[in-house]
């Protein structure tokens, strides 16, 4: 289907292009010519300094040529993103790193071989001026990753250039896990959007700082500390606190938030939980389905996952749930606080960031 025809069917009045590419298209021989045409159009857009939202297995990314400072400026402008918040560089081949990082430590090579392609970014020393300085926020380090989403990976491979790609949303808002989320935020602000399968993980990549040893987790994600330590056979530290000059996205600013006040219920929701609300307030609650029995019928309830141990399901659905609440008429939102453990660390990091660490006890 032609780009403009597809966009008209979406019912969106926009100059933003939409390319519909599914994972099945990559294997469908009858779609080969159409697929190549779309990939060529996207590569041309990158070559001419345009920005295009592409799917990844974590969230949708707003991509541009990482070597082009004007293109990088467009990303910051479209998102309203602070200029001191560095971008993650997306690649399709480890050999690309030779152009902007020193030779890799053998431990880093081992982790890349084990976890890539996948939801982890490695912060490495930066050398030379191959990358635009504004892509790395003038730092002497760079975060890189290799996505596993089949369509996103194919786009990066076809473009054959390093792509800077933060989440494709307005800065501070919930990240997008499908193309419609991107259009809601960035319609008419970006050159194009690739409409493909939704993200599998739903939260951004784990970021591991490999510029010093022991390595430090700068941002938790789907790949846990236990996963990393099992491969490295050494302890991995946490980056304590936010940095005034962040080395990774997600370290300094409030993120992922709807416009209403959002409060996490630590310890989770029980039949004893009392929500501190005014009589006139419309209340929203995001929680596991198993908590529904404890909820007053007048509360707008969004089921985040099956039960309190369904951390992966909760992470996959988190941003979509926050976006639904963001467009609702509720005045205040509460969200279930999951048990703190290695499996829930990335999920709870995003929840605390979204609430600005506003908490109440569920007891």
Q: Is residue 323 annotated as involved in ligand binding?
A: no
Distances (CA, A) of 28 to 22, 33, 200: 10, 10, 22
Q: Is residue 81 annotated as involved in ligand binding?
A: yes
For residues 303 and 287, is the Cβ–Cβ distance under 8 A? yes
316 burial (CB, 10 Å; 0-12 / 13-18 / 19+) is: buried
Q: Is residue 273 annotated as involved in ligand binding?
A: no
Name every residue whose Cβ is closer than 8 Å to that of residue 89 and which is 6 or more positions away in sequence. Answer: 66, 100, 131, 135, 136, 142, 143, 144, 145, 162, 163, 164, 165
- 20 backbone dihedrals φ, ψ, rounded to 5°: -95, 110
147-158 burial, b if ≥16 CB within 10 A, otherwise e?
bbbbbbbbbbeb
Q: Is residue 145 annotated as involved in ligand binding?
A: yes
Q: Is residue 47 annotated as involved in ligand binding?
A: no
Length of the chain: 363
Q: Is residue 167 annotated as involved in ligand binding?
A: yes
DSSP 118: S
For residues 62 and 197, what is the distance between their CA atoms, to the nearest angstrom? Answer: 16
| DSSP string covering 264-322 | EEET---TT------TT--EEEEE-GGGGGGS-TTSEEEE-SSSTT-HHHHHHHHHHHH
Distances (CA, A) of 119 to 128, 203, 339, 360: 26, 9, 22, 31
For residues 248 and 85, what is the distance between their CA atoms, to the nearest angstrom? Answer: 7
Q: Is residue 159 annotated as involved in ligand binding?
A: no
Q: Is residue 165 annotated as involved in ligand binding?
A: yes
Q: Which residue has the tokens 């006890």?
A: 361
For residues 235 and 233, what is the distance between their CA atoms, to the nearest angstrom? Answer: 7
Q: Is residue 225 annotated as involved in ligand binding?
A: no
For residues 194 and 155, is the Cβ–Cβ distance under 8 A? yes
Name every residue whose Cβ is closer than 8 Å to that of residue 316 and which is 6 or more positions away in sequence. Answer: 177, 199, 200, 201, 202
In the annotated binding site for ATP, the residues are: 81, 85, 167, 175, 219, 256
In the annotated binding site, the residues are: 58, 81, 85, 90, 145, 165, 167, 175, 205, 219, 256
In the annotated binding site for L-threonine, the residues are: 58, 90, 145, 165, 205
């Amino acid at each position: 289907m032609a780009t403009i025809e597809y966009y008209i069917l979406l019912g969106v009045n926009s100059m933003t292009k939409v390319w519909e590419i599914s994972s099945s298209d990559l294997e469908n021989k009858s779609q080969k010519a159409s697929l190549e045409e779309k990939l060529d159009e996207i590569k041309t857009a990158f070559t001419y300094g345009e920005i295009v939202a592409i799917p990844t297995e974590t969230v949708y990314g707003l991509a541009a040529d990482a070597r082009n400072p004007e293109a990088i400026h467009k990303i910051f402008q479209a998102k309203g993103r602070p200029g001191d918040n560095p971008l993650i560089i997306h690649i399709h081949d480890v050999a690309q790193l030779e152009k902007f990082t020193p030779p890799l430590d053998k431990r880093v090579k081992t982790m890349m071989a084990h976890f890539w392609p996948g939801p982890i970014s490695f912060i490495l020393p930066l050398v030379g001026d191959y990358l635009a300085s504004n892509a790395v926020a003038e730092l002497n380090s760079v975060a890189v990753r290799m996505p596993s989403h089949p369509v996103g990976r194919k786009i990066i491979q076809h473009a054959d250039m390093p792509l800077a790609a933060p989440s494709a949303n307005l800065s501070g808002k919930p990240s997008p896990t499908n193309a419609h989320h991107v259009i809601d935020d960035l319609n008419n602000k970006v050159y194009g959007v690739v409409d493909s399968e939704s993200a599998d993980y739903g939260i951004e990549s784990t970021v591991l700082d490999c510029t010093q040893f022991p390595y430090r987790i700068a941002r938790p994600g789907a790949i846990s500390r236990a996963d990393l330590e099992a491969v490295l056979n050494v302890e991995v530290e946490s980056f304590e606190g936010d940095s005034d000059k962040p080395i990774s996205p997600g370290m300094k600013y409030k993120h992922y938030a709807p416009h209403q006040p959002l409060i996490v219920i630590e310890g989770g929701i029980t039949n004893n939980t009392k929500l501190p609300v005014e009589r006139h307030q419309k209340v929203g609650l995001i929680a596991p389905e198993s908590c529904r029995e404890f909820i007053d019928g007048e509360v707008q309830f969004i089921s985040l996952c099956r039960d309190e141990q369904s951390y992966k399901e909760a992470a996959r659905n988190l941003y979509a749930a926050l976006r639904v609440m963001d467009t609702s008429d509720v005045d205040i939102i509460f969200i279930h606080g999951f048990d703190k453990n290695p499996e829930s660390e990335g999920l709870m990091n995003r929840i605390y960031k979204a609430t600005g660490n506003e908490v109440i006890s569920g007891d």
